[in-house]
Structure 1
């Protein structure tokens, strides 16, 4: 067969690729040449008897699978990180320049209350990081679907609503953090130029624009987060030195003595009415869930054990740095602590100026981490994840894609190939700039505008943490876990209610054979059994604990998630021809009652933090309670 005939045959196979599953549930046919993009002409058909929710999930999954088949994979990372590199990126995402607001958080919450909150937030952050990546990469029903993003994971149990929720709050977190970083640079420029606070606004803004254009924007233009591993390591070192400087030169002894001694300070500084403002800042400082998938996807040889090592050491280092800087910075100034603690130091202090240089250095290197997240959100919304654009492949890449579709490209190392002849040629932009550069520049301009208008970093940190931090760090992970493991939760609740009813002589409309089986993870309830289980739960008498524990809400979320999960995974398996082999040692065990209790705590804690944080911020701003005496 000649080369031209082979190419023609490949093209014919690509154009008429058909995926079928000949059972009673559904069939999905794919024909890229079809001009009509409706579900009927796509060949996606669902079995009779499915409700509107199930039908929508099947159709959406068929469409998503169709587009996934033809992706070039060029928008995925081409560079990989070691454990050290990934840990540096994660610590930089957690700490960064936001660490400078921790003393202000302790002022708002109270000293010992703030310390306890910091420890709690650190523990929740470590748990949520493990939860998200393990559910996406190692859950037995999702491990073969290659879920690579937070919003992709949320869409599995909750569809478009889950994806939109995550994307919206990811952008809030990244956007608020980047604005705060630019405000820090403006504060440092003010002191470096010798200006008094609130004066020479034009000069300060010009200095901020010039330095951010020269350093922040070029670093943000990088394609892969693995490219920032070196700069993140430098940023972490600068953070450590900054903490040492503040701990060494903060006037702790004089300030504490002037307020009656350390015991008197602890006695009078326990819990403040503005507690939730401090919690918002702490949540914002420790939040890194919006960057977790970027870091995890860049990790070479990603396993549960390696990811666990990264989260453990990253959270430990970050929490320790925040604790030392927060306590030392706050004890040095107490009620005079400002949103940027360095503004509390004398402007002509040599030690403070050295600390400001370190802060500027780590701010420059931390900004790109958040820019990656904001750019990812915009690319997902505007270009369904295709950051590289229409010009993002060469002839070699196109040939490789055809080989993969024909089954001839198995075992090819994408990273090795990308460093060889498959050179990425990005497109989709305007004039001399490609799509990635266009969106990076737009993100920079969007953050620059409010930074030119506002000056106070405190409210920016607090509101960002109260809204985006609570949703991304607590509410989102809790809902995702409950939705992904909805079947197991419905089984547990159904069995509990059945025992309670039988013990009190109540009857149900179902036989024992219809009931879920507790503790047997090998028995997977079918979709119809899941509906029966939910009916068992919602109908009939229930104990008071059922309502006090908010189980009507939890079971509704679990049922919604279980419905989406089953139909979506079945549809994806039909398109892909079944799941790929997974390392048994990395497969997650079944969810336990304790796991569900933790996820409930995440959700409740996040909702309370968000509502109370927003109300507290409004109250403080109305009555000017954050002003330094």
Structure 2
């Protein structure tokens, strides 16, 4: 049924009857002085970057000696392969922030039902706008996101895309650093460490200094390009483990792990005694927007789809978004059913350090984060170089930019501890732009360029997306900040 709903939503954009992503051309990215080839510069917020060898091509302007010219040939993907890769692209380690967002609307177990409804609606909207971007690529014969933007909105405003991707990848790296601190401090506690060694700040500084920084200075990221699959495996495994723990009673007052938890991590239900969709529901909506934020990948998937056409593209989208929605529903349902109001921003923080299965989840997701971090960071760094118009930075300039950017991210991770807040800000700020506003503006520009195909309904839907995204962004950011730092919404 969910699949049919999404297909129906996609039908609105199908009537308009891992493109080659180019670091030097797509979304304002530039080349660093180390000649590091960025395999793909399409990075998703709060999840590992999407890197797939069968979809990897580069511009000759950034190819280095370790990448043979043959890899630049455009390759096509079957529908099955595209569906798997898109589902893999949507799902990622950031999904562990989703269960904690349910408490924004209530602390009763029945709150998961309106949450599921919102999840499906957000999935349909996200799938629809993902399809819209593909339709604009088809209509304008565009190979990349910035080509589609230039053809519909205009060349002069392409800096908006560069800025958006820089902000999105910065927030992604911030979330990665926060997750590293959460997971590895819990793992050290599981190993018996106490006091200083078990501190979150020590894990952040230690892993960043010993592992992340050297990886971010690698001249070639080819060895890391396959690690995105680890994040998906970790999320699926975590969902299964959370399902087991929600059913075996381990975290009930009589359960094996209940006594090992501090009060703020223990299950808590029915204090408010109801659920309601008020202004705080925008926190939930913002987090769910982050979950589906993968729209910079749309041109890639459309253009590299075998025998590409909008009907085939929409079938891929419907299947991939449905699979992802089901996994997200599992994470949300199992997590909230276990801990209720006390679900933390990183749901794995709720599970006891002595829980062996939870420790395996932390290991799986933790290592996927560490080894995909450099992929996201390289996208961020190249984006910054592009915005700064530094086509050929010196080694010293490149090193200073790397270290200063990592330092600011690490400082943010040390101060901020609620992953759910970062997810909500990312979703309300960048998700609203990339999922709703950008596709709406592209459609409006396309209708202006092709007036013969324009209809009042299409214009209304496009303006509706722009208005919806603007409203969700403004209200979502405001509510998230007020909820996090004040008692105004208490």
Deviation at residue 378 of structure 1 after TM alignment? 3.3
Which of 437, 441, 447 matches 1:479? Answer: 441
Q: Residue 74 in 1 paired to residue 61 in 2?
A: yes
Does the CA contact (< 8 Å) of 2:184 and 2:362 recur in 1? no
Q: Deviations over 1:306-346 (max 9, x none)?
A: 53344233212211111110111111111111000011112
Q: Residue 356 in 1 paired to residue 362 in 2?
A: yes
Deviation at residue 135 of structure 1 after TM alignment? 0.4
Does the CA contact (< 8 Å) of 1:118 and 1:282 recur in 2? yes
Q: Residue 269 in 1 paired to residue 256 in 2?
A: no
Does the CA contact (< 8 Å) of 2:234 and 2:361 recur in 1? no
Q: Show the counterpart of 1:290.
A: 296
Which of 464, 470, 474 matches 2:426? Answer: 464
**Which ranges of structure 1 fall in alignment gaps of 5 or more residues?**
1-70, 390-427, 492-520, 522-589
Deviation at residue 123 of structure 1 after TM alignment? 0.9
Q: Show the counterpart of 1:130.
A: 131
Q: Show the counterpart of 1:221.
A: 221
Q: Deviations over 1:176-225 (max 9, x none)?
A: 122101110111111111157994633542134334346677598349xx
Q: Residue 605 in 1 paired to residue 480 in 2?
A: no
- 1:254–1:350: structure 2 CA closer, same or farther, 3 Å change rule? closer
CA distance in 2, matches of 1:290, 1:332: 35
CA distance in 2, matches of 1:219, 1:596: 47
Corresponding residue SS for 2:98: helix
CA distance in 2, matches of 1:266, 1:604: 33
Q: Show the counterpart of 1:183.
A: 178
Deviation at residue 348 of structure 1 after TM alignment? 1.7
Corresponding residue SS for 1:193: helix
Q: Show the counterpart of 1:165.
A: 160
Deviation at residue 236 of structure 1 after TM alignment? 2.1
CA distance in 1, matches of 2:377, 2:83: 18
Corresponding residue SS for 2:442: helix
Matches within 5 A, 1:323-402: 323-364=329-370, 366-367=372-373, 370-371=376-377, 373-375=379-381, 377-378=383-384, 380-382=386-388
- Identify the range of structure 1 (346-355 vs 232-241) with the bigger mean alpha-carbon deviation: 232-241
Does the CA contact (< 8 Å) of 1:88 and 1:232 recur in 2? no
Q: TM-score, normalized by length of structure 2?
A: 0.70
CA distance in 1, matches of 2:346, 2:281: 18
CA distance in 2, matches of 1:310, 1:361: 29
- 1:175–1:432: structure 2 CA closer, same or farther, 3 Å change rule? closer
Q: Show the counterpart of 1:556.
A: none
- 1:290–1:372: structure 2 CA closer, same or farther, 3 Å change rule? farther
Does the CA contact (< 8 Å) of 1:97 and 1:366 recur in 2? no
| Root-mean-square deviation (Å) | 4.0
Q: Show the counterpart of 1:238.
A: 234
CA distance in 2, matches of 1:218, 1:625: 46
Which of 228, 243, 248 matches 1:247? Answer: 243
Which of 169, 173, 177 matches 1:174? Answer: 169
- 1:610–1:254: structure 2 CA closer, same or farther, 3 Å change rule? same
**Which ranges of structure 2 fall in alignment gaps of 5 or more residues?**
1-57, 64-70, 255-268
Q: Show the counterpart of 1:56.
A: none
Which of 98, 104, 111 matches 1:102? Answer: 98
Q: Show the counterpart of 1:430.
A: 394
Q: Residue 119 in 1 paired to residue 120 in 2?
A: yes
Counting matched residue pairs gives 402
Does the CA contact (< 8 Å) of 2:181 and 2:200 recur in 1? no
- 1:265–1:451: structure 2 CA closer, same or farther, 3 Å change rule? closer
CA distance in 1, matches of 2:125, 2:227: 27
CA distance in 2, matches of 1:190, 1:626: 32
Deviation at residue 81 of structure 1 after TM alignment? 6.2
Structure of higher RCO (CA pairs closer than 8 Å, 6+ residues apart) = 2
Pair member with larger Rg: 1
Does the CA contact (< 8 Å) of 1:188 and 1:360 recur in 2? yes
CA distance in 1, matches of 2:300, 2:163: 17
Which of 605, 613, 618 matches 2:481? Answer: 618
